Amino acid sequence: MDDLRTREACVACDAHDPLAPLRDQFALDAVDAEGLIYLDGNSLGVLPKATRDRVRQVVDEEWGTGLIRSWNDAGWVTLSQRIGDKIARLIGARAGEVIVADSTSVNLYKVLSAAIALVDSNSANAGAGGAGAAERKRKRNRIVSERTNFPSDLYIADGLARANGFELVLVDADEIAAHQDDRLAILLLTHVNYRTGRMHRMADVTRAAHAAGGVIVWDLAHSAGATPIELGEADFAIGCGYKYLNGGPGAPSFAWAHPRHTAWMDRVGWSQPLAGWFGHAAPFEFTTGYRPAAGMARFNCGTPPVLSLAALECGVDTLLAAERYGGLGALRTKSVVLGTLFVTLVQSRCAGYGLQLASPLDPDARGSQVSFAHREGGYAIMQALIARGVIGDFREPDLMRFGFTPLYTRYVDVWDAVDRLLQVLASGEWRDPRFATRAAVT
């Protein structure tokens, strides 16, 4: 990083960045004019330019003029599948293996239900038959997850565990290996931790879970679109549309199951619990009885939100555009350099102000975000930094998060962000009471 320790060096690096043209895909004129540095793409990705026209087209033409005919004529009915096929290219899956529908939490409910059904389909899981779901005496009765996994994942898992007679066991990351035993039913992990940015070695963890006889469910919310993902032999995955996929606030989520599992579902006729008409084999026959669609399509539920889907597709396209620049591998390389540069600059320039690196120093163990803890002033420092035009975010009790989305973050952004952070710390301006008031969304 020595060669990037001046602003001029960062500017020069941007000038020679082969990925720089990818930034032109985004509507950042107003942001740049405001002098804003946006380091929160890990929470809400920025607006792609193409989204503006596409959403206008969907609203004015497809809905406004095409009306109901657009379900067929504009392809609304297959939109979810089309976007799913695109997302598949980002996560090491194949066409047909990914659906886009509902929210991340709702999709987790579906795939965790599938994982539970899979666990119970294993006749070796003694006592799975007979008694009611919540009272079964299973040999494998543990759903294991990280204590610092994203809370919504834990809420969904806990509810399903209680309803189905499993025990949700929360452990620290370094205790996961010790819980890969014959009580492990399902291992539920988020690939990149939302708090620390710590990244699991997906293939290794999947292998270990399988060796222990468990089913693994990956949440890709904080990694899909930021780093190459090879789901490989994993069992289920879900992910988020509005972070690195740039799909817009509250964009629909995606879900994946390994084809061996959808083949099993087809064989036994398994339905996920949210058995709505868009997951039916023939929704427009309007039959009274539910018959799940083949493959992943069974994971659809209600009528899809077309406006939000159209925006999501534009976001996904911004990542597919990177394929001719080296794709996610090249993006990941840049992301690692950006993150490491940030760590290096903060540790050298902001030393002595009480910041503690809360992310792994090893870039191979870190996703596309860096977190620093500040015991006394995490929230206020972030607010003061936002007032100086650097947008990161805060997570209780003391974490400041900074996301480095390689599609649009520049090297000079990192330099300037650290420079402003230093000003906030050196001036002590963050101690101003106006920075202490918590907003509804932190």
- Under rule CB under 8 A, which residues in 116-135 are in contact with a copy of itself? 131-135
Q: In the annotation, is 401 catalytic? A: yes
Q: Which of 25, 253, 262, 318 binds a copy of itself (CB under 8 A)?
A: 253
Q: In the annotation, is 242 catalytic? A: yes
Residue 142 bridge partners (DSSP) = 167, 184
Could you tell me the smallest distance in angstroms from the CB atom of residue 98 to a copy of itself?
Answer: 18
Q: Which residue among the candidates 26, 38, 150, 254 is catalytic per the annotation?
A: 150
Q: Is 17 in the site for a copy of itself (CB under 8 A)?
A: no
Q: Is 439 in the site for a copy of itself (CB under 8 A)?
A: yes
- Cβ atoms of 304 and 80 within 8 Å: the answer is yes
User: Rounded to whole angstroms, how far apart are CA atoms 146 and 168?
Assistant: 10
Q: Which one of the spans 321-329, 368-376, 388-396, 416-424 is the region binding a copy of itself (CB under 8 A)?
A: 388-396
Concatenating the DSSP letter of every residue in 287-343 gives -SS--BPSGGGGG--S---HHHHHHHHHHHHHHHGGGGGTHHHHHHHHHHHHHHHHH
SS (H, E, C) 135-198: HCCCCCCEEEEECCCCHHHHHHHHHHHHHHCCEEEEECHHHCHHHCCCCEEEEEEECECCCCCE
Q: In the annotation, is 38 catalytic? A: no
Tell me how far the alpha carbon of residue 231 is from its chain's centroid. Answer: 14
Query: Which pair of tokens denotes residue 257?
Result: 């199951």
Could you tell me the smallest distance in angstroms from the CB atom of residue 284 to a copy of itself?
Answer: 5
Q: Which of residues 64-103 bind a copy of itself (CB under 8 A)?
A: 64-65, 67-72, 76-78, 102-103
Could you tell me the smallest distance in angstroms from the CB atom of residue 302 to a copy of itself?
Answer: 3
Q: Looking at beta carbons only, is 199 or 251 nearer to a copy of itself?
A: 251
Could you tell me the smallest distance in angstroms from the CB atom of residue 151 to a copy of itself?
Answer: 5
Residue 247 bridge partners (DSSP) = none
Query: Residues 263-282 vs a copy of itself: string with x where CB under 8 A?
Result: --------x-xxxxx--x--
Q: Which of residues 48-67 bind a copy of itself (CB under 8 A)?
A: 51-52, 55-56, 59-60, 62-65, 67
Q: Is 203 in the site for a copy of itself (CB under 8 A)?
A: no
Q: With CB under 8 A, what is the number of residues at the site for a copy of itself? A: 95
Q: Looking at beta carbons only, is 102 or 413 nearer to a copy of itself?
A: 102
Query: Which pair of tokens denotes residue 381?
Result: 């420092």
Q: Report the candidate in 254, 318, 295 with the shortest Cα–Cα distance to residue 79.
A: 254
User: Rounded to whole angstroms, how far apart are CA atoms 164 and 158?
Assistant: 10
Q: Which residue among the candidates 86, 110, 140, 243 is catalytic per the annotation?
A: 243
Catalytic residue set: 150, 219, 242-243, 401
